[in-house]
Structure 1
């Protein structure tokens, strides 16, 4: 499920009056307990909420798989994917976001929704993944475009014990990239929107 892209979408378009670090727009939760709630989004370089249409498609793909899941949202940004997962029945989400201002806004948004079972980790994703692993049933992975981060993150998730058996992994990349993923990740669904391609994989036992 940033980034700093996270929660993810087309390239930011800013006017001179839109100063970095100011809340200038909202992201809408699409379904579940928090349906139609509007959450403020900071104007920060590379921060791009995933379009509503793509999020709706993703969560239709996931369906019942969300219920009771432990979720990891890497490059979390606005946290829209992780919050949407909680809204639709996930047990908790660990959000990893390296920009302190973006992470602070995410924490504020979680508090406004009375979400107390999840945590925001202010950390670089690769540094975070060096800690002892906890297996997750669902991972959102939306790295910044054109920085060659996807392959190494996918490899670490698989090799270092971050994924439960049959975990689902959502990967969003630039459309021009064919991601290099572990051989036991089976492509479940795929869609393209603008400059990005969204893929949902299911992990098979090695």
Structure 2
């Protein structure tokens, strides 16, 4: 596992029985989450719905988890068969949660953790890695997902059949996707947010 920064704060939540690995080799292991509202953990129910839709094609894939928070999504992906996940997060408390959760699940050897803003990390990875999956859960209603997608469209980060998944508010606009060469293939709406599934347009 690679981690490109040093000491971080030790302020993390205690184990939360509502946040755990759902399936795979780390099944049922509880995860720690970040205190406060700076990050917004994906609920277990939403996470289970998401992975039920993609689990059949995870085996031996590479997974990029942007705005990682506690790392729960990338860790779930590794647990279910992804060969490597890269976690990108700039919040030091969230970084500590990712490191703690990887240690608890014993998945460190399949993880790379980058403490850096997302756009610096994308530039670092471009030309070095290609991903089958990109998941992002940026702060809502700041159009950060559009900025990331704009970068991905011109990058060499995506495998030919890559799937991009964006967690966003229900009000988020994705009408620009075709202009970037992407295609929305599915939307899954929940009570307050949604997952948008995006592929490279053929």
TM over 0.5: yes
TM band (smaller chain): 0.7 to 0.9
1:23 equivalenced with 2:13 (yes/no): yes
SS of alignment partner, residue 127 of structure 1:
helix
SS of alignment partner, residue 38 of structure 1:
coil
194 and 165 in structure 1: CA distance in 2 versus 1, 3 angstrom threshold: same
Structure 2 residue ranges without an equivalent (≥5): 1-9
Q: Tell me the distance in 2 between the aligned counterparts of 1:204 and 1:135.
A: 17
Are the equivalent residues in 2 in contact too, given 1:94–1:121 (CA < 8 A)? Answer: yes
Let me know the Cα RMSD of the aligned residues: 1.8
Structure 1 residue ranges without an equivalent (≥5): 1-19
Q: Tell me the distance in 2 between the aligned counterparts of 1:144 and 1:103.
A: 17
Higher relative helix content? 2
TM-score by length of 2: 0.85
Of 162, 165, 168, the residue aligned with 1:167 is 162
SS of alignment partner, residue 53 of structure 2:
helix
Partner of 1:177: 172
Q: Tell me the distance in 2 between the aligned counterparts of 1:175 and 1:120.
A: 29
TM-score by length of 1: 0.83
Q: Tell me the distance in 2 between the aligned counterparts of 1:28 and 1:200.
A: 24
1:189 equivalenced with 2:186 (yes/no): yes
SS of alignment partner, residue 21 of structure 1:
coil
**1:23-172 counterparts in 2 under 5 A?**
23-24=13-14, 26=16, 27-115=19-107, 116-133=109-126, 134-172=129-167
Displaced runs of 4 or more, over 6 A: none
Flag the structure with more relative contact order, 1 or 2, with Cα contacts below 8 A and sequence separation at least 6. 1
Q: Tell me the distance in 1 between the aligned counterparts of 2:15 and 2:111.
A: 24
Q: Tell me the distance in 1 between the aligned counterparts of 2:38 and 2:15.
A: 15
SS of alignment partner, residue 139 of structure 2:
coil
Q: Tell me the distance in 1 between the aligned counterparts of 2:94 and 2:36.
A: 8
SS of alignment partner, residue 78 of structure 2:
helix
Q: Give the total of aligned pairs.
A: 186
Are the equivalent residues in 2 in contact too, given 1:21–1:44 (CA < 8 A)? Answer: no
177 and 51 in structure 1: CA distance in 2 versus 1, 3 angstrom threshold: same
